[in-house]
Amino acid sequence: MTLAVSFQDVRDAAARLAGHAHSTPVLTSRTADEQLGARLFFKCENLQRIGAFKFRGGYNAIARLDDAQRRRGVLAFSSGNHAQAIALAARLQGVAATILMPADAPAAKMAATRDYGAEVVTYDRMTQDREALARALASGAVPPPFAPHLTHLLDEAPVPLVVMAVEEAAERSQVPPGRVWRNVAKLAGDLAIHRKALWV
Protein backbone atom coordinates (compact mmCIF):
# COMPACT_ATOMS: atom_id res chain seq x y z
CA MET A 1 0.00 0.00 0.00
CA THR A 2 1.31 3.45 -0.92
CA LEU A 3 0.74 6.04 1.80
CA ALA A 4 -0.52 9.50 0.86
CA VAL A 5 2.07 10.92 3.24
CA SER A 6 5.65 11.47 2.18
CA PHE A 7 8.72 11.91 4.36
CA GLN A 8 8.67 15.59 3.40
CA ASP A 9 5.08 15.82 4.66
CA VAL A 10 6.28 14.55 8.03
CA ARG A 11 9.14 17.05 8.09
CA ASP A 12 6.73 19.87 7.17
CA ALA A 13 4.40 18.81 9.97
CA ALA A 14 7.31 18.81 12.42
CA ALA A 15 8.21 22.36 11.33
CA ARG A 16 4.63 23.55 11.85
CA LEU A 17 4.56 21.96 15.31
CA ALA A 18 7.90 23.44 16.40
CA GLY A 19 7.38 25.62 19.44
CA HIS A 20 3.79 24.47 19.88
CA ALA A 21 3.92 20.74 20.63
CA HIS A 22 6.00 19.49 23.54
CA SER A 23 9.15 17.54 22.75
CA THR A 24 8.22 14.44 24.71
CA PRO A 25 10.87 11.97 25.91
CA VAL A 26 11.57 8.44 24.71
CA LEU A 27 12.01 6.23 27.76
CA THR A 28 13.10 2.63 28.29
CA SER A 29 12.50 0.06 31.01
CA ARG A 30 14.87 -2.80 31.77
CA THR A 31 12.10 -4.52 33.75
CA ALA A 32 9.69 -4.37 30.81
CA ASP A 33 12.44 -5.56 28.45
CA GLU A 34 13.17 -8.55 30.67
CA GLN A 35 9.52 -9.47 31.14
CA LEU A 36 8.72 -9.35 27.42
CA GLY A 37 12.05 -10.49 26.00
CA ALA A 38 12.15 -7.43 23.77
CA ARG A 39 13.73 -3.99 23.60
CA LEU A 40 10.98 -1.42 24.21
CA PHE A 41 11.02 2.31 23.53
CA PHE A 42 8.19 4.35 25.07
CA LYS A 43 7.39 7.64 23.32
CA CYS A 44 5.72 9.44 26.21
CA GLU A 45 2.99 11.35 24.44
CA ASN A 46 0.99 11.23 27.65
CA LEU A 47 3.18 14.23 28.49
CA GLN A 48 2.01 16.02 25.34
CA ARG A 49 -0.38 18.99 25.45
CA ILE A 50 -3.93 17.78 26.27
CA GLY A 51 -2.27 14.58 27.50
CA ALA A 52 -2.20 12.75 24.18
CA PHE A 53 -0.45 12.65 20.79
CA LYS A 54 -3.69 13.81 19.16
CA PHE A 55 -2.56 17.41 19.66
CA ARG A 56 0.06 16.95 16.96
CA GLY A 57 -2.44 15.97 14.27
CA GLY A 58 -5.00 18.56 15.32
CA TYR A 59 -2.54 21.44 15.32
CA ASN A 60 -0.99 20.37 12.03
CA ALA A 61 -4.38 20.08 10.33
CA ILE A 62 -5.55 23.53 11.39
CA ALA A 63 -2.18 25.08 10.55
CA ARG A 64 -2.65 23.90 6.96
CA LEU A 65 -5.96 25.74 6.47
CA ASP A 66 -6.00 28.84 4.28
CA ASP A 67 -7.30 32.20 5.51
CA ALA A 68 -10.79 31.68 4.09
CA GLN A 69 -11.10 28.32 5.81
CA ARG A 70 -9.84 29.76 9.09
CA ARG A 71 -12.53 32.44 9.01
CA ARG A 72 -15.17 29.74 8.57
CA GLY A 73 -13.95 27.84 11.63
CA VAL A 74 -13.69 24.08 12.04
CA LEU A 75 -16.10 21.37 13.10
CA ALA A 76 -15.16 17.92 14.34
CA PHE A 77 -16.68 15.02 16.24
CA SER A 78 -15.02 13.11 19.04
CA SER A 79 -15.71 11.71 22.49
CA GLY A 80 -12.41 12.72 24.04
CA ASN A 81 -8.80 13.32 23.05
CA HIS A 82 -9.39 14.46 19.46
CA ALA A 83 -12.03 16.90 20.74
CA GLN A 84 -9.55 18.43 23.17
CA ALA A 85 -6.80 18.50 20.54
CA ILE A 86 -8.92 20.38 18.00
CA ALA A 87 -10.26 22.74 20.66
CA LEU A 88 -6.80 23.73 21.91
CA ALA A 89 -5.19 23.82 18.47
CA ALA A 90 -7.99 26.03 17.17
CA ARG A 91 -7.73 28.41 20.12
CA LEU A 92 -3.96 28.75 19.73
CA GLN A 93 -4.42 29.65 16.06
CA GLY A 94 -7.38 31.98 16.49
CA VAL A 95 -9.87 29.67 14.80
CA ALA A 96 -13.42 29.03 16.04
CA ALA A 97 -14.12 25.36 16.78
CA THR A 98 -17.35 23.44 17.23
CA ILE A 99 -17.06 19.90 18.56
CA LEU A 100 -19.88 17.37 18.33
CA MET A 101 -19.59 15.06 21.35
CA PRO A 102 -21.79 12.17 22.53
CA ALA A 103 -23.80 13.09 25.61
CA ASP A 104 -22.22 10.18 27.48
CA ALA A 105 -18.63 11.25 26.76
CA PRO A 106 -16.44 11.45 29.90
CA ALA A 107 -17.44 14.57 31.80
CA ALA A 108 -13.80 15.57 32.38
CA LYS A 109 -13.01 15.46 28.66
CA MET A 110 -16.14 17.40 27.76
CA ALA A 111 -15.29 20.04 30.36
CA ALA A 112 -11.70 20.25 29.12
CA THR A 113 -12.89 20.68 25.52
CA ARG A 114 -15.06 23.61 26.60
CA ASP A 115 -12.24 25.05 28.72
CA TYR A 116 -9.97 25.01 25.68
CA GLY A 117 -12.48 27.32 24.00
CA ALA A 118 -14.57 25.12 21.71
CA GLU A 119 -18.33 25.17 21.48
CA VAL A 120 -19.53 21.67 22.44
CA VAL A 121 -22.74 20.29 20.95
CA THR A 122 -23.93 16.98 22.41
CA TYR A 123 -25.92 14.18 20.79
CA ASP A 124 -27.34 10.76 21.64
CA ARG A 125 -25.02 8.20 20.03
CA MET A 126 -27.74 5.52 20.22
CA THR A 127 -30.42 7.43 18.32
CA GLN A 128 -28.67 10.16 16.33
CA ASP A 129 -26.29 10.09 13.35
CA ARG A 130 -23.28 12.22 14.17
CA GLU A 131 -22.29 12.70 10.53
CA ALA A 132 -25.77 13.94 9.62
CA LEU A 133 -25.69 16.28 12.62
CA ALA A 134 -22.24 17.51 11.60
CA ARG A 135 -23.48 18.33 8.09
CA ALA A 136 -26.44 20.22 9.56
CA LEU A 137 -24.19 22.14 11.97
CA ALA A 138 -21.45 22.95 9.48
CA SER A 139 -23.13 25.99 7.87
CA GLY A 140 -19.84 27.24 6.49
CA ALA A 141 -17.45 25.62 8.95
CA VAL A 142 -14.78 23.35 7.51
CA PRO A 143 -16.34 19.91 8.17
CA PRO A 144 -14.47 16.77 9.25
CA PRO A 145 -12.18 15.54 7.95
CA PHE A 146 -10.78 18.91 6.84
CA ALA A 147 -7.43 17.50 5.67
CA PRO A 148 -8.23 13.82 5.01
CA HIS A 149 -5.00 12.91 3.27
CA LEU A 150 -2.79 14.21 6.08
CA THR A 151 -4.71 14.80 9.29
CA HIS A 152 -5.51 11.20 10.13
CA LEU A 153 -2.20 9.70 9.09
CA LEU A 154 -0.01 12.33 10.71
CA ASP A 155 -2.15 12.05 13.84
CA GLU A 156 -2.41 8.28 14.12
CA ALA A 157 0.69 6.88 12.44
CA PRO A 158 3.84 6.22 14.50
CA VAL A 159 6.07 7.64 11.75
CA PRO A 160 6.17 11.25 13.02
CA LEU A 161 6.87 10.00 16.53
CA VAL A 162 9.84 8.03 15.29
CA VAL A 163 11.05 11.04 13.28
CA MET A 164 10.86 13.27 16.33
CA ALA A 165 12.66 10.68 18.45
CA VAL A 166 15.46 10.27 15.91
CA GLU A 167 15.98 13.99 15.54
CA GLU A 168 15.93 14.49 19.31
CA ALA A 169 18.45 11.69 19.78
CA ALA A 170 20.74 13.13 17.13
CA GLU A 171 20.57 16.58 18.70
CA ARG A 172 21.30 15.30 22.21
CA SER A 173 24.15 13.00 21.23
CA GLN A 174 25.68 15.16 18.48
CA VAL A 175 25.63 12.05 16.30
CA PRO A 176 24.82 12.76 12.62
CA PRO A 177 21.09 12.05 11.96
CA GLY A 178 22.03 9.70 9.11
CA ARG A 179 23.84 7.39 11.52
CA VAL A 180 20.88 7.47 13.93
CA TRP A 181 18.52 6.64 11.05
CA ARG A 182 20.69 3.62 10.14
CA ASN A 183 20.25 2.40 13.71
CA VAL A 184 16.49 2.90 13.40
CA ALA A 185 16.47 0.97 10.14
CA LYS A 186 18.31 -1.89 11.84
CA LEU A 187 15.83 -1.74 14.70
CA ALA A 188 12.93 -1.91 12.24
CA GLY A 189 14.54 -4.91 10.57
CA ASP A 190 14.93 -6.63 13.93
CA LEU A 191 11.27 -5.97 14.64
CA ALA A 192 10.08 -7.34 11.33
CA ILE A 193 12.33 -10.39 11.29
CA HIS A 194 13.01 -11.32 14.89
CA ARG A 195 10.31 -9.51 16.87
CA LYS A 196 13.06 -8.46 19.25
CA ALA A 197 12.28 -4.73 19.28
CA LEU A 198 9.04 -2.82 19.59
CA TRP A 199 7.98 0.81 19.36
CA VAL A 200 5.24 1.45 21.92
What does the pLDDT average to over 57-71?
90
Across the chain, mean pLDDT equals 76
Share of the chain above pLDDT 70, in %: 66
Q: What is residue 112's predicted lDDT score, i.e. its pLDDT? A: 97
Sign of torsion over alpha carbons 200, 64, 97, 49: positive
pLDDT band at 12 (very low <50, low <70, confident <90, very high): confident
Q: Please indicate whether residue 140 or residue 20 has the higher confidence score (pLDDT).
A: 20
Q: Which is more confidently placed, 129 or 185?
A: 129
Distance, CA of 132 to CA of 134 (rounded, Å): 5
Q: What is the pLDDT of residue 30?
A: 94
Which of helix, strand or coil describes residue 160? helix
Residue-level pLDDT at 128: 92
Between helices 7-17 and 159-173, what is the axis angle to 10°?
70
Instruction: List, by residue number, the catalytic residues.
Output: 54, 79
Q: Where are the alpha helices (DSSP H) in the chain?
A: 7-17, 30-36, 54-63, 67-72, 81-92, 107-115, 130-138, 151-156, 159-173, 177-194
Full-model pTM: 0.71
How far is the first Cα of the chain from the last one, in angstroms, to the nearest whole number? 23
What are the structural domains of the chain? 7-52+154-199 (no CATH), 67-146 (3.40.50.1100)
Share of the chain above pLDDT 90, in %: 39
pLDDT score at 174: 53
Residue 84 CA to residue 62 CA, distance in Å, equals 13
pLDDT, average across residues 19-46: 91
- What is the C-alpha to C-alpha distance for residues 171 and 177, in angstroms, rounded to an integer? 8
Give pLDDT, residue 133: 86
Treating both helix axes as pointing N-terminal to C-terminal, what angle do 7-17 and 54-63 enclose, rounded to 10 degrees? 90
Whether the per-residue pLDDT at 199 is higher than 50: the answer is: no
Of 155 and 61, the structure prediction assigns the larger pLDDT to: 61
Q: How far apart are CA 69 and CA 197, in angstroms?
A: 43
pLDDT band at residue 9, thresholds of 50, 70 and 90? confident
